[in-house]
Amino acid sequence: MAETRIRNEIDGPIAILTLDRPEKLNALDQAMIDAIEAFVASTEANRAVRAAIITGAGEKAFSAGGDIAAWAGLDPVTFMRDWIRNGHRVFDRLARLRQPLIACLNGHAFGGGLELAATADLIVMEAHGRIGLPETGLAMVPGWSGTQRLVRRFGSRVIKRMALGGEMFGAEEALALGLVDKVVPKGEGLAAAKALATSIAARGPVAVQVTKQLINAAEGEEQAAAIESVAGALAAFTEDLKEGAASFREKRAPRFEDC
């Protein structure tokens, strides 16, 4: 079913994922979440892809968040185990995508839609869109890192205004508050996102990806993995490793040089 609700395309060095359910304001169900995870896996595996974009179909919404019909009937244990934890796992993987990710908000981003946008490294927003975290008005709690990743990225005070007070922000106010990086006229979001992605793709891909990982670590995103992957890559190019591997193959004690 997700095939009709998620579109995945490659445009040169750019991978583009489109939430394609405009009649439901691109609200997310479990099949769509699974399809986003598949997008992450395929993009990670494609060495020709240097940047990625996530956007929505239609003119009204990037995503209105989780589809209430998809979770309202779940029992508490299933809701916690399947809906919340699966969503967290997928959003975490998207935030840790090795290639820089740009979110193109072609319209409103509410609740889980804003949490999805916050997994991106850069956010382009069309001028007619609004963003917010309406969950507490429905007696719900933001469930896909709205109280965690969003606070790390944007600060607690502005998130409290949305999550506790129910405030919604238009594009220009969101830009002034640092919630988005660029505002463009209606209908020009994808072109602006592609221009950013093309600029990123022209830079050294390894340096870009390592820099993204280090910045993520500074924000508290995958800190342990960032430290170990960079350290591991450094060790992998040493003469010590060559000697260690050779001694293992030859079943002898290693003879390491002084450093």
In the predicted model, what is the mean pLDDT of the chain? 90
Does the structure show a pLDDT above 90 at 161? yes
How does residue 1 score in pLDDT terms, banded at 50, 70 and 90? very low
pLDDT tens-digit series, residues 110-126: 999 999 999 999 999 99
Does the structure show a pLDDT above 70 at 2? no
Q: Which one is predicted more confidently, 133 or 70?
A: 133
- Please check whether residue 133 is in contact with residue 164, taking contact to mean a CB–CB distance below 8 angstroms: no
Catalytic residues: 115, 135
| Burial bucket for residue 204 (CB in 10 Å: 0-12, 13-18, 19+) | exposed
- Average pLDDT on 97-109 reads 97
pLDDT tens-digit series, residues 50-86: 999 999 999 999 999 887 776 666 677 777 777 778 8
Does the structure show a pLDDT above 50 at 108? yes
Q: Give one word for 42, left, alpha or beta, with left for phi > 0 and alpha for psi -120 to 50.
A: alpha
What domains appear along the chain, each with residue ranges and CATH number?
Answer: 2-201 (3.90.226.10), 205-250 (no CATH)
- Average pLDDT on 83-97 reads 89
**pTM given for the model:** 0.88
Residue 108 CA to residue 63 CA, distance in Å, equals 7
Those residues whose C-beta lies under 8 Å from the C-beta of residue 177, and which sit 6 or more positions away, are 154, 158, 169
C-beta neighbour count of 215 within 10 angstroms: 13
Those residues whose C-beta lies under 8 Å from the C-beta of residue 186, and which sit 6 or more positions away, are 59, 126, 127, 128
